[in-house]
Structure 1
């Protein structure tokens, strides 16, 4: 250790990263133990650790990463796992860029970039990052390039700030254009300048006419008391407060007030301007313009005549606030339950996949054993019931991947008519109504049909199999008052309603209706997940659900979906992919050993060449080492530094690209946005059967 201290001065290293570098087992890398490092490497590390700027050393051909405290902050969630890792493995999404850097600098070259834009996964999600990057070679003890010293200065905030500045300039130019248009349209009533230092008011002829200054009055020195006398008495205080605020804070001056005309009527104006300051920060000038807003204010006053009195409005607002607070509490309660539910469903699906995979393999290995086939069939049916239960849990938790498309309520009703009648029985009448020109919505059609069917079956049970169900849809515009506390914004919506003539629900039952596993049905006749699933689907689709009921008056459930202005998708037919096996090479990446084993055996029986990796870290190392595959079949949620999205990002930039098929019991929105998959993302949900696996693999490989 004396050699280390004398040669490198590492005892003088300070900071968190210095401690981490000392504690790291460098014998696992080509650099060897710390006390064997070359003098040039030790000196370079000491220089880097002392720098306040983010710096990282990439040593050797693999580019082993050694970095300082400032760089650890830049690395985000990837710190401290980057320490000692090859740079291509540490940042796989920019592996090609970093390989070019290492190759160039080890050949003696230098590189620099200004505001270089890269997409990094510092905390598990893609983010656009801009940086100033400087790369230069670092010589070893023999004077040859042994590594790369990189200085990383993130300029993301500067770039975004510059864009905001440009946006502000564009807005300023737009404001000037609006003023010009106002001048041309005659809406401008004049301009004024108040010399604050000398307390002198000046204006143009239109300003003087607006405030009824006498003809011949000098426009360079307008008596302020004349203008003040023309302002409505009720508006004096407001105008003065706005002026004082602008002079004290520099905020824009915008005041709406009334000015008396010569005929004693009042004209509504908007005074817009701002205070200008000298170098000492003292108010200097106060320029502004007057704009005619009389028509708008007259229309507003006419509208106010039809509103209720102030006491009633206050009472309504208080009541609405109480309702919104209660809805917020209920939403937070359901959100908390949903988070727990989604995690349980994920583990449950993994267990079901192990059971299902082995059952299918057992059935294949014993094709002539009737007793085995019968028992396997019964077990698989139970697995499917468990999978349906898990799917309902994920629907409530709003964790199910959706496949939305443009449709109208009438299309949904047309496809559901026959199915509803079969499911409800002949003693239940179903009345369907929809507007002549229905608005379009962007939803998952299958999930919406399931939701309506679920509500209809609940209605049938509430009516004890005899009564009338009204299934209707209408176009509706929701205002802010209705949307307050409901998690939606005001605008156009399509409302789908299911109403029954059953016995209704008491208030205490109604308050728990959306909670999972809550049911009033006898044991064994309901899981209590029907309404929970509908609630989760509607919320996940950006909508809202309302339920109203009273004992003896039936129940009414209303689903609100935002109106979509997209055009109707053209009907396309997707050719069926024959679920035949193939000879391609598949890399199975799965951290659950039992799930991995069953998947591997299923694929090998179909003729595929199968490689395995227990996590994405191992898989990425295999791929970087030159292992060639045709398809990466990977679980979504796995422990480790490398994520499944990193594998997909690497596969996408290869030439040719490598196909990727995800599988999961619960994606946690890692590969989706708001649980909606992009068209080029393929997901096979757990649990799956051999046919589904084979069909999906062939589809992705042919795609």
Structure 2
């Protein structure tokens, strides 16, 4: 049998995946050359290695060319089969120094063994800490000299980790036992116990027995749970029992604070902690626990609570005292403002009444044919109108002025009132107006808006005192949260009207009073101080916002913000001259003021109307229900009696032929208004009024309404 045949037979005896890899590997590029040229000693040790179940490797020659079996391939992880035939130092570069020493030592005839030596090896793609038992023996060549190394590798990582974890656990257990013993001996622990659930026996140590005032012999034999509950404070038993049941049922930790009776008849606070143990079927088995003395802590907590309650009471008293002082201060400021307002109202109304009184007294001494009679009557009527204007301004500041809002196009508005404003400021003051081409619409009472702008123009004229400029601008503004912070306005889209002048301006201490009624810097007799307050009230009643800024020597700027309206502009329908209808109509006049009732009836009779009168709502309803035909009801708003003006209106509108109704009032309340806007089916005539105005309103209401006769 030839050598080649022997070699083939020997190679065929190499079994396993790694053996096939060795046979198929191109060894010619390594110091070992082809397998056929290997020394018999190398072939023999490889054959032994491949048949062994332990991870084994052969490091041949000075370079330590690596060959290994299936078990070693598994240990190598992702490095296999790339490290086959590679020098050992390159195969395991992280342990190159260690392996160099192994090869050199074994080639010199030494054997090496290492027990639980640690390495950081990337056997499965990433570095990991491993522990190994390593055994290295020299392998002799055919001539008997050491030519290689047989390595046996045993992975002990799992065992090392288990031993380490066990050591850590044992240390933790010793530490816990030390802490427990320390706690048990410190005096805070009042005992340990175990409740045997099946037999309902509570077993405890000597301290536990002493805490519950039970002989230790009895406690050692077992004590029913109910007996332990009986020693607890009655107020605590229910929640302790519920805590025990919850722990047994849900497996949650047990923790309960309660009081137990002491031998002296008092009560002591304790804390009980524990858990429930279960058998292999999940049935509750035992309930171990420990008692801790918390009496001093609870007493301290109660003392702290009592102190806190006392402190809270003192704080509440201090807050109440401060609120009372603030209320007194607000009342004082309110009375001061009311005094200023009352004085201003009294002054202006007394002047108005004096003008009316003087003219009426003069008429007593003049014969009817005297040419001065019409002049005096006209002067008295002008005084009445001044008083009415003053009342209107007060109502506007109080946001009680009835409004008839319409949708306004600011571009058209500024164009139409420019001439009016120019007349108000005079020729020495130039007026400028600016607006965007796409100015948004807004909805307010146009008459009140024009009066507000006229007031601002007159204020500008008085502040300029000569040549200057008054500018009205309009812009579309979107106010966000930041812009509205600290202001009485909501975020949204607004139309901004800005009135600015080049007048003398206001100092800060004057500016902060600008919107107060009857506050004025004008000389005596040159202003009521109601202009800006009226503008303020009108803007707020319209759902808008007003800002004012001023600099001494530079001028003043007032900004009016009105909510944007998405409705089209309201277009006024021109009407022809209204003829006053007289005669042929029966009117019911209702007013609880005898003087007002008498004068109104006299005016209507002079206009040739048939007039029925009633001193209150009840009397008026009696007239209406009597069957008398009535073509129009003219009624005061606020009257005594059960029947109100709204009841009269309901009767009128419920008739087969609805009867027109005119409300007359000097002070409109919510009975007329809804959100400050007149109801669509109500005609309002404000006191005082001229006879011509009364006649025109009645004629307008009767127009188109068929008469009863």
TM-score by length of 1: 0.49
TM-score by length of 2: 0.48
With a CA cutoff of 8 Å and minimum separation of 6, indicate the structure with the bigger relative contact order.
1
